[in-house]
A and B are shown apart, each in its own frame.
Chain A
């Protein structure tokens, strides 16, 4: 089926994005990931696989982390979406962002936004996770550079420093 035969009507979406009321039009087939990157213009959320297996596109949806490639943009109407762009306070860094820098927890950095969003959700629920708990929580986020050692240490450091 081509667009010639069936013109696609875009869907209006109104959501709270990083604390701001935001409205945009999304095609019905468009994922939240694509809408964030291509429609809204927030490219901090990354595409690594587009099938829910790498976690590079992790965002928070009503406080729960999701792979934004597996959520339709139209589904977030009326809901709260938080991305990497909303993580730092104005002119500052979130403790996790600071810990990632101090611990050298990124090499190429493409997976970093997803890890940060996922790790924040963990620390919001469990301020003092042990190593196994951190590894289990982050098992949905692939990193090919670090071997995870320094990422786990950065999350531990951020947990220690926010007490």
Chain B
């Protein structure tokens, strides 16, 4: 594919415009079909019995009374699920061991988190199914729950998985809760610290936070008598669900057809398998299609969240404020099974800077809570809360303006990321300059009229984004409209951003490309909707398919004009005979002539986009007002600048910046799992797990920076995730500016603010490091 590397800025007709999204009318009418909206002939309803204990041996499960109840069609336990041998599968944002993936969907002999499925029933309606759960007898032997890093990592820790063999710096270690300890090293940080003019080390604690999608998980399955399994499910990864379903159920891959429904938010939390295999096995037993929909409490108890943990970060600078070394120790709680994005945390923690000497240790630790899932830029907001809070405090210590510090040390093209890769052309500095030039930055903070304390904070952030496999098929209709078939669930406008890239090639209006998301039998393989890859990678598949269509139509019109295809040009949606320039067809005219020139034109772009998604950097600026009487923090003003490479649909790019900022603000100020010592979440509802409402937030100014990505024909970067990375430190730095005390723990809720203010009065610093 061509690149934008050394060409002048491209001009676009469709890309960069703001058409109404193709699926918009269905969604504002309430007609779009989400997971729970699936209706099938003979559909019955499932319900799942979940462990009340975070850690317990399941001595006996008896479903016989439930099975015999009127209206109940089937009941299953772990014994109805095939036993799966350990095998690692890469789901891109998550690496999953199939044995654990299988045990996670239904406990086999032991419950390892509160909410772990123990049995399931299918009945004529939801209420009958829920009533039948009460008839299931389970005998548990509760075990000590391991729910903190300290308890999980201590030498005599209670061990959660007997079969977990840890990888500790390459050494295989049995009998441990530390699934992985990795180290990334470059240069000699100790020597550099010894010679540094200033060194600062701090430890930060970050709470578990849930993705908080408004649509609970819902899966429907029908296991046909011919052993074909159809699954309708709300997922980011239909092809991932297909392969892991096949593996967990021990059926051939191609016997599973996954139909992705509309998806009501995911943010990484709808990648893995949850109830799909349970619905399938209940269907096989009952002969009926079975739908299982989670309630909100189960969503909190048994899915997601993003990992909490502890990060110790250390940075040394020379007398001019130039970074000489940085180190970090990252400890994340993966939940009941390994896999807490420590490699992304390692990649991201110091990515915004040139760090000549670096060492990053990272620990992936299992505890007795639901397995964490990817959550928007997985692992990176937590690590960046540490690094960007540290940088802010360091700037204060050495009396340097944070913006000046960032610009002096900013990673740029050619900078080696601390974990190895060298950055291509990136927008790190451009984002900081955008903030520097913003009205917000130039504005006065002003005084609160009623004695509240105001402060301003800045932080930057990074997410690499992925490429990988995508397939898109484009077919030309007689009227010159094209249909576009794709396999990525549209979680926030990607039907349109993919269609727009094809439309750009054709020179057609965006609405002359009709995109449809189809099931796994109806399109080539597509990796999941995640990793900021969909617009970037599936867009490239669409461009590739569109270019093939154009080449094919050139052959057709050449046939009509009795010339060679090389003599046909295509520009501004017009085919023209270069030899006889009077001969021209618009795309639409040519489309009407395909029947008489060889038949239909339908082409597939199948790509495997290698290497970096280009990397999208962001810089955020935040003004807060802190009430010293109550500790409440109000966000007064917020600006998010981020590099989109080229914004395909600027409104949806802004929406990603704003939405990520809002999630990050929630993580910063409110969101947290309150857990009892025996591992039971105490705030498993939207009342007590408080996500930001419209009243909690101001307008969020989105500044779209465009530094073209050399890996995409139009310069597009994946942009969905970076926006959640800077908010927590930006908010924390603003609070520190307001109250004169540093915050070392999320959420920075009223009680912690009051504690920080009390410490200040008593002359104490709250840091633990």
Contact = CB atoms under 8 A, between A and B. Distances in A.
A107 B493 contact: yes
A3 B214 contact: no
A147 B697 contact: yes
Nearest to B20: A101
Interface residues of B, number: 68
B655 A145 contact: yes
Interface string A1-37: 1111000000000000000000000010110001001
A101 B214 contact: no
B28 A100 contact: yes
A141 interface: yes
Is the contact region of chain B dominated by helix, strand, or loop, or is it mixed?
loop
Contacts of A48: 214-216, 264, 296, 686
Contact of A145 (B36, B70, B265, B694): B265
B214 A142 contact: yes
A49 to B, nearest CB: 4
A51 B24 contact: no
B7 interface: no
B24 A101 contact: yes
B127 A29 contact: yes
Contacts of A83: 30
B722 to A, nearest CB: 14
Interface residues of A, number: 64
A150 to B, nearest CB: 6
Nearest to B264: A110
A20 B79 CA distance: 50
Contacts, number: 202
A84 B131 CA distance: 31
A113 B263 contact: no
B216 A104 contact: no
A144 B32 CA distance: 18
A49 B31 CA distance: 20
A34 B69 CA distance: 23
Nearest to B266: A108
Interface in B10-50: 18, 20-21, 23-25, 27-34, 36-37, 39
B29 A139 contact: no
Contacts of A42: 30
B658 interface: yes
A101 B25 contact: yes
B694 A134 contact: yes
A148 B697 contact: yes
Interface in A75-98: 83-85, 87-88, 93, 97
A104 B27 contact: no
13 contacts: A43-B39, A104-B21, A108-B213, A108-B263, A109-B23, A113-B28, A113-B30, A138-B695, A148-B692, A148-B693, A148-B697, A149-B702, A150-B654
Interface of B: 18, 20-21, 23-25, 27-34, 36-37, 39, 69-71, 125-128, 131, 134-135, 211-216, 262-267, 293, 295-296, 491-493, 649, 651-652, 654-655, 658-663, 685-687, 691-695, 697, 699-700, 702
